[in-house]
């Protein structure tokens, strides 16, 4: 900049107070606030605007920066959550670092909420301007570092979800490492006999997908491989993987997708499982049906919600109802004489065509009996057969059923390797054990950690179309980062004063992002170092620091103290 005053250290603050039409000006005495602002230390210029965010208002800011050599700008108007970027870029246009700008929210947090008290609103607006100017005096220019994003991705899990993600990203031209812990790909779907509600053979959808994975030049498939460590951050992850028992692999990737799926809950000890012959799980039944080992049983009883919707696993596993109905229909088709009875708590038939499928099972003669959670069925041996007693929740009457086979519908649960991966990636698991996305509604496939995504049943139980939709979601989110090739790092990060830091490591303990750590830098003592590309700027470490060595850019301790003084001691400005 030609103007030597810009960016100089002595504060020269310009204050622009917005009428926002009548939104502010109709309640707050704006000219009075402008006159008051002029009296505040550091303020060299103040004016009022009908709309500061208008083309005219913005050019007035730019003009005043040049004309009055402003090196800090305060706009007193609406919330920074919507208009801050606009005013920041106006400052940048005039050669002022965007972090030398600060907003005073006198609309949402003043005129709009005190519209019947104009005098009090005016006093409050003056207070807010005074607090903002106090912070503005201490603002520092900040830079947002640009981080390069490598055009390669690690996808963990080669089930239907992981393979879909891999193929999608490979087609977009990215290099993919597809890591699978098992010797074979296909995950849980590979173990199924048929898929609901189409009754199709899983191989029909798995085989073409496997073919695409194996024939893609962009995909390197690594089976019998586990991820053992991940270092770095978005754009530059250094991954260590172990293939077999000994072969260590080093992979550098820009993004990571977790598609590790889930496993079926083991109902050990429930309803005589592993104790009574003939008590099996739905997965075991799938294998029998596939291998043609069903025979002609007289009666099959299925029990739903075995291990789900109870303490410890309070969630509905979403797929078990339809899966039981599917297997009941298959049994009825193969052996129409067989009685099939499903003992359920509630039937979840929420997907497209699912309700018809449920109706079809009823029409085929499958019997549905509702039981109460507090009165679960009891399974015992009766001669060479099994006996199931259940209280019908509608009739409040006990029913006893003879059974040759009792099939337990158990929920999907997180597996041990998923829990290990969560630790390696430092991403959270929910209280249900599944990977927890960044936001339950708005960010369903993101983690709070940039560059790492989740999809499929790793995130929660879901059916195949839902898993595939998430796979495409994760692929496109990862693809956006890799296609642009760069990301902007947060400018609001922690700063360590190495002279005061004594290397105790409290900051490292409280940081959720592993963005700060005590390092031996070869000096006289160990000190904390901030990895600025990973730091999110929450400030938790700054408070944890016992020596006060850490502060946050743009929210420094000095700035907040100045705001506090301004808020509570009007006289001192």
Task: Output the smallest distance, CB 540 to other proteins, in A.
Answer: 4
Q: With contact defined as beta carbons under 8 Å apart, do 398 and 407 qualify?
A: no
Q: Does 424 bind other proteins (CB under 8 A)?
A: no
Least distance between other proteins and beta carbon 381 (Å): 45
Q: Any contact of residue 114 with other proteins (CB under 8 A)?
A: yes
CB of 129 closer than 8 Å to CB of 106: yes
Smallest gap from Cβ 32 to other proteins, in A, equals 16
For the bound state, the minimum distance from the C-beta of residue 24 to other proteins, rounded and expressed in Å, comes to: 11
For helices 160-171 and 464-484, angle between their N-to-C axes, nearest 10 degrees: 30
Q: Work out whether strand 146-148 and strand 486-488 pair parallel, antiparallel, or are unpaired.
A: antiparallel
Stretch binding other proteins (CB under 8 A), from 207-215, 283-291, 462-470, 556-564: 556-564
Q: Does 446 bind other proteins (CB under 8 A)?
A: no
Helix axes 118-136, 30-38, angle to 10 degrees: 30
Q: Three-class SS of residue 264?
A: strand
Q: Is the Cβ of residue 128 or residue 166 nearer to other proteins in the bound state?
A: 128
Choose the binding region for other proteins from 239-247, 413-421, 472-480, 508-516 (rule: CB under 8 A).
Answer: 508-516
Q: Is the dihedral of CA 500, 505, 511, 516 positive or negative?
A: positive
- Pick between residue 340 and residue 562 the one whose CB is nearest to other proteins: 562
Sort strands 219-222 and 175-179 into parallel, antiparallel or unpaired: parallel
Task: Give CA–CA dist 171/28, Å, rounded.
Answer: 58
Termini Cα distance of the chain: 31
Contact with other proteins (CB under 8 A) among 205, 495, 510, 531: 510
**Site membership for other proteins, residue 107 (CB under 8 A):** yes
Q: Give me the least distance between CB of 112 and other proteins, in Å please.
A: 4
Tally the C-alpha atoms within 13 A of residue 123's C-alpha that lie toward its C-beta: 5
Beta-strand pair 43-49/13-18: parallel
The dihedral region occupied by 505, where left means phi > 0, alpha psi between -120 and 50, and beta the remainder, is: left
Under rule CB under 8 A, residue 115 binds other proteins: yes
Number of Cβ within 10 Å of residue 572's Cβ equals 10
With H, G, I as helix, E, B as strand and everything else as coil, classify residue 345: coil
CB of residue 537 vs other proteins: minimum separation in angstroms? 5
Count of residues making up the chain: 573
Q: Quick check: 343 and 371 in contact, CB under 8 A?
A: yes
Secondary-structure percent of the chain, ordered helix, strand, coil, rounded to 5 = 35, 25, 40
Q: State which of residues 71, 105, 152, 255 lies at the interface with other proteins (CB under 8 A).
A: 105
Nearer CB in complex with other proteins: 108/182: 108
538 binds other proteins (CB under 8 A): yes
d(CA 373, CA 414): 23
Q: Is 539 in the site for other proteins (CB under 8 A)?
A: yes
131 binds other proteins per the rule CB under 8 A:
yes
Shortest distance (Å) from residue 431 CB to other proteins: 8
422 binds other proteins (CB under 8 A): no
Interacting residue with other proteins among 169, 320, 341, 552 (CB under 8 A):
552
Could you say whether residue 534 binds other proteins (CB under 8 A)?
no
22 part of the interface to other proteins, by CB under 8 A: no
Residue 356, class by beta-carbon neighbours within 10 Å (0-12 exposed, 13-18 middle, 19+ buried)? exposed
Choose the stretch contacting other proteins; rule: CB under 8 A; options: 140-148, 266-274, 283-291, 530-538.
530-538
Contact pick of 51, 112, 392, 424 for other proteins (by CB under 8 A): 112
Question: Which one, 109 or 218, has the nearer CB to other proteins?
Answer: 109
Q: How many CA atoms lie within 13 A of 262 on its CB side?
A: 27
- Per CB under 8 A, 116 contacts other proteins: yes
Per-residue binder mask for other proteins (CB under 8 A), 347-366, x = binder: --------------------
Window 452-491: contact mask with other proteins (x via CB under 8 A): ----------------------------------------
Q: How many residues bind other proteins (CB under 8 A)?
A: 46
Note whether 560 binds other proteins by CB under 8 A.
yes
Nearest approach in angstroms of CB 122 to other proteins is 10
Longest dimension (CA), the chain: 99
393 or 544: CB nearest other proteins: 544
By the rule CB under 8 A, 544 interacts with other proteins = yes
Q: Assign 15 to helix, strand or coil.
A: strand
* H/E run at residue 450: none
Contact 286, 325 (CB under 8 A): no
Binder of other proteins out of 35, 47, 93, 108 (CB under 8 A): 108
Helix axes 320-334, 354-363, angle to 10 degrees: 40
Asked if 340 interacts with other proteins (CB under 8 A), we say no
Specify whether the CB–CB gap between 345 and 374 falls below 8 A.
Answer: no
* Binding residues for other proteins (CB under 8 A): 79-81, 105, 107-110, 112-117, 120-121, 123-124, 127-128, 131, 428, 448, 492, 510, 512-513, 536-540, 542-544, 552, 555, 557, 560-561, 563-565, 567-569
């Amino acid at each position: 900049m030609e103007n030597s005053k810009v960016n100089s250290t002595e504060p020269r603050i310009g204050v622009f107070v917005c009428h926002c039409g009548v939104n502010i000006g109709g309640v707050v005495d704006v000219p009075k606030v402008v006159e008051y602002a002029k009296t505040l230390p550091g303020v060299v210029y103040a004016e009022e605007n009908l709309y500061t965010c208008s083309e005219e208002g913005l050019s007035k800011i730019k003009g005043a920066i040049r004309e009055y050599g402003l090196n800090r700008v305060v706009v007193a108007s609406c919330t920074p959550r919507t208009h801050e970027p606009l005013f920041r870029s106006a400052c940048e246009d005039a050669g002022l670092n965007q972090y030398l700008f600060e907003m005073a929210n006198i609309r949402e947090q003043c005129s709009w909420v005190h519209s019947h008290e104009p005098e009090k609103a005016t006093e409050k607006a003056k207070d807010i301007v005074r607090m903002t100017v106090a912070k503005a005096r201490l603002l520092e220019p900040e830079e947002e570092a640009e981080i390069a994003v490598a055009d390669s991705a690690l996808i963990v899990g080669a089930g239907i979800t992981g393979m879909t993600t891999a193929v999608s990203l490979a087609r977009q031209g990215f290099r993919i490492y597809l890591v699978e812990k098992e010797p074979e790909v296909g995950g849980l779907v590979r173990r199924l006999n048929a898929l609901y509600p189409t009754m199709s053979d899983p191989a029909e959808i798995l085989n073409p997908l496997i073919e695409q994975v194996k024939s893609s030049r962009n995909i390197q498939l690594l089976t019998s491989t586990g991820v053992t460590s991940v270092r770095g951050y978005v754009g530059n992850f250094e991954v260590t993987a172990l293939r077999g028992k000994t072969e260590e692999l080093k992979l550098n990737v820009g993004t990571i997708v977790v598609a590790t799926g889930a496993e079926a809950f083991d109902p050990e000890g429930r309803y005589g499982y592993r104790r009574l012959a003939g008590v099996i799980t739905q997965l075991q039944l799938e294998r029998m049906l596939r291998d043609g080992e069903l025979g002609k049983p007289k009666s099959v009883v299925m029990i739903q919600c075995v291990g789900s919707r109870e303490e410890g696993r309070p969630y509905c596993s979403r797929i078990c109802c339809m899966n039981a109905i599917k297997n009941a229909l298959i049994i009825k088709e193969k052996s129409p004489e067989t009685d099939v009875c499903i003992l359920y708590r509630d039937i979840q038939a929420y997907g497209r065509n699912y309700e018809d499928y449920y109706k079809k099972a009823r029409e085929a003669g499958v019997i549905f009996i509702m039981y109460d959670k507090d009165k679960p069925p009891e399974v015992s041996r009766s001669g060479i057969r099994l006996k199931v007693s259940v209280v019908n929740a509608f009739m409040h009457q006990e029913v006893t059923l003879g059974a040759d086979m009792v099939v337990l519908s158990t929920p999907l649960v997180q597996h041990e390797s998923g829990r290990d991966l969560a630790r390696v990636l430092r991403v959270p698991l929910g209280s249900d054990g599944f990977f927890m996305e960044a936001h339950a509604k708005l960010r369903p496939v993101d983690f709070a950690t940039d560059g790492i995504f989740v999809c499929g049943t790793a995130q929660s139980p879901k059916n195949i179309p839902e898993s595939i939709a998430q796979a495409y979601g994760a692929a496109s989110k990862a693809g956006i980062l890799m296609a642009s090739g760069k990301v902007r790092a947060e400018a609001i990060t922690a700063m360590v004063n190495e002279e005061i830091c004594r290397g105790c490591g409290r900051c490292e303990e409280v940081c959720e992002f592993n963005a700060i750590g005590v390092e031996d830098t070869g000096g006289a003592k160990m000190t904390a170092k901030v990895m600025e590309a990973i730091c999110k700027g929450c400030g938790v470490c700054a408070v944890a620091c016992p020596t006060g060595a850490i502060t946050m850019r743009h929210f420094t301790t000095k700035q907040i103290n100045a705001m506090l003084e301004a808020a509570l001691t009007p006289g001192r400005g």
